[in-house]
Structure 1
């Protein structure tokens, strides 16, 4: 095994991310600190700041890894026409990796800075796997995607899959897949937004 001073910056970055993911998996996101990561690695805190300018930047890279993992895991299913199978696999990933999944949707920086392009591309890759199963308007599909995540974040774990599939089937019933009706889609979008708003009260 290479000594600490023999690692390149690329290798050091991977070591930091691996240590962070171990802590998140074993102890939860709340336990993640720069000092604890350094202890897990057997490095100094300063070593981490050699490859990540801030904790927020580190978390962004952890989330990017999670998004890449989701995309890879679901790629075989996304090639099929079975959106319910894709959603079940997505929900299974979220439930078996709860802390890593929730981190994606949790703000970690006080500054309202735009997401970097490389990170936005990772987010889009997951959404595009989902969106490819639909022919409705992009606005309608985006509203459905947001509604699904509202359910995931706010429902009890044993109710999530049932609620998500009910929402999906209701969405399909709101208009034709091949020739969607604008008014029906608008009603469905408003219904999803209202349900998400009500669940947050």
Structure 2
């Protein structure tokens, strides 16, 4: 029997997100079940939908928690570094993905229906990670090219992400790539070099 009044709405939201994130990290998006989350916390599935409105909004809340953890991890790893921060950021990208494989891939496996707009608070979380990369790329560029950092960051994020994703799903192993992180760093260095010559 579900507990109907043990928690306030905000407490319940936090409880659901925490358990949902735990389960997402354990089983991944393809095997994720809102019903299992409800069962684990002792509430009905209807309670989850009452709090979040829909399955999609529940997944966004769980993925938003992953983004919060990722940003905190990234900033923590960069805080103590005076130099070579871009390389450290790329290394942190790989580390977080490898250490949180299922939760990280859920960020990319889930898609909102085409007719739904991404909530602003979620967009801000995604943008916050991108802004860290923009900041670090800008610091590597000559002053006269600083304005190109946002476009370059988007391109380099795609490059690093592709290397990371291929490393996680085994594609690079099939292709014989032994060190995807080093390959990603080389591609970033190649891109930056054209602005420094």
TM-score (norm 2): 0.80
Tell me whether 1:99 sits opposite 2:102 in the alignment.
yes
2:36 matched to which residue of 1?
36
Q: Does 1:119 align with 2:126?
A: no
Distance 2:119 2:22 in 1: 25
Deviation at 1:7, TM superposition (A): 0.6
**What's the CA shift for 1:87?**
1.3
Whole-angstrom CA distance in 1 between matches of 2:70 and 2:28 = 19
Residues of 2 paired with 1:77 and 1:19: CA distance? 26
Cα 1:41–1:6 shift into 2, 3 Å? closer
Structure 2 residue runs without a partner (length 5+): 139-144, 173-177
d(CA) in 2 for partners of 1:159 and 1:57? 37
Q: Do the aligned partners of 1:71 and 1:125 also contact (CA within 8 Å) in 2?
A: yes
Normalising by structure 1, what TM-score? 0.79
Note if 1:172 corresponds to 2:192.
yes
Q: SS state of the match for residue 51, structure 1?
A: helix
Count of aligned pairs: 175
1:4 positional shift? 4.7
CA displacement, residues 124-183 of structure 1 (integer Å, 9 cap, x when unaligned): 11111111112341222211111211222234476431221111111122221xxx8xxx
Deviates more, 1:153-162 or 1:137-146: 153-162
Q: Is the contact between residue 16 and residue 48 of structure 1 (CA under 8 Å) also seen in structure 2?
A: yes
Corresponding residue number in structure 2 for 1:63: 63
List gaps (5 residues or longer) in structure 1.
181-201
- 1:109 and 1:41 mapped to 2: Cα distance? 26
* RMSD (Å), alpha carbons: 2.0
